[in-house]
């Protein structure tokens, strides 16, 4: 039964990290989630609370790790969200859950990433010299200036970022039967991911694909955090109050 004004239903929303992300990277979105949604922010190896674990440098291994980490918590209705690298990892995770007969998400929401079947041909940023690599990260946005501008901080985070970009830039798509799952694709209007390339997500679901373009760049998910929180809630039937801010 969908949750109404009283938010009787508590739905978990799993937020999969983007490149370089960790369990606290989604804090602005987590803080903006409406009542009735409870965030799960899994930690990939080699960062955050799992800093001592060996880093992973390919998406299939990341998906396998996420299955082990998340499976005990997927005992009720839940929503799956992934931004950029997290969107591709979300597809692999959903496929693995299907293969294992585990409970699928009620809805899959991905943002800032083109369809996996046409993903590829990306420049090999993970092999760039340090300063060129740092500039690429700066142009993408989403990384705090205090990390990019501080040599000691950047030296600490650089291996994590390089490993994630290696996972993205060596990703090889494997066709599989479409998921019986609602998928929504969100794009920033100033991002370089086009609606035409994002439309390729349709091959991953047997249901009609939903696509929306939001104000902002690649990391619009933070500038639009309150609206995104309401969007996620509505995907699982949680009623939210409209935002009447002037502007």
Q: DSSP letters of 31-44?
A: HHPPTTEEEE-PPP
Per-residue pLDDT tens, the chain, 247 aa: give them. Answer: 333 344 445 899 999 999 988 899 999 999 999 999 999 999 999 998 899 999 999 999 999 999 999 999 998 999 999 999 999 999 999 999 999 999 999 999 999 999 999 997 567 777 677 778 788 778 776 566 667 777 787 788 888 888 898 999 999 999 999 999 999 999 999 998 999 999 999 999 999 999 999 999 999 999 999 999 999 999 999 987 765 443 3
pLDDT value for 143: 67
pLDDT at site 5 = 40
CA-based R_g, the chain, Å: 18
Two tokens at 150?
Answer: 């501080």
Per the listing, tokens 């039967």 go with: 177
- pTM for this entry: 0.89
| Cβ–Cβ under 8 Å, residues 153 and 147 | yes
Q: Where are the beta strands (DSSP E) in 76-125?
A: 78-83, 107-111
Nearest to 179 by CA among 60, 84, 92: 92
Active-site residue (options: 23, 25, 84, 184)? 84
Q: Is residue 117 annotated as a catalytic residue, yes or no?
A: no
DSSP 136: H
The Cα–Cα gap between 96 and 12 comes to 19
């Amino acid at each position: 039964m969908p949750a109404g004004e009283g938010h009787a239903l508590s739905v978990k929303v799993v937020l999969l990290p983007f490149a370089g992300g960790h369990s606290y990277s989604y804090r602005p979105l987590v803080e903006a989630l409406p009542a009735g949604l409870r965030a799960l922010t899994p930690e990939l190896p080699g960062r955050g609370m799992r800093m001592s674990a060996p880093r992973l440098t390919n998406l299939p291994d990341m998906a396998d790790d996420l299955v082990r980490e998340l499976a005990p918590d997927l005992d009720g209705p839940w929503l799956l969200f992934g931004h950029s690298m997290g969107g591709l990892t979300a597809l692999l995770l959903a496929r693995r859950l299907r293969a294992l007969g585990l409970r699928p998400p009620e809805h899959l929401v991905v943002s800032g990433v083109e369809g996996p079947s046409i993903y590829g041909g990306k420049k090999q940023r993970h092999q760039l010299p340090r300063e060129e690599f740092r500039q690429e990260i700066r142009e993408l946005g989403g990384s705090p200036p205090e990390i990019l501008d501080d040599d000691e901080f950047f030296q600490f985070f650089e291996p994590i970022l390089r490993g994630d970009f290696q996972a993205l830039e060596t990703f090889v798509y494997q066709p599989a039967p479409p998921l019986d799952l609602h998928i929504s694709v969100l794009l920033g209007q100033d991002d370089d991911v086009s609606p035409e390339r994002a439309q390729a997500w349709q091959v991953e679901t047997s249901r009609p694909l939903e696509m929306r373009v939001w104000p902002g760049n690649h990391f619009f998910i933070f500038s639009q955090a309150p609206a995104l929180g309401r969007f996620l809630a509505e995907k699982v039937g949680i009623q939210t109050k409209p935002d009447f801010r002037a502007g």
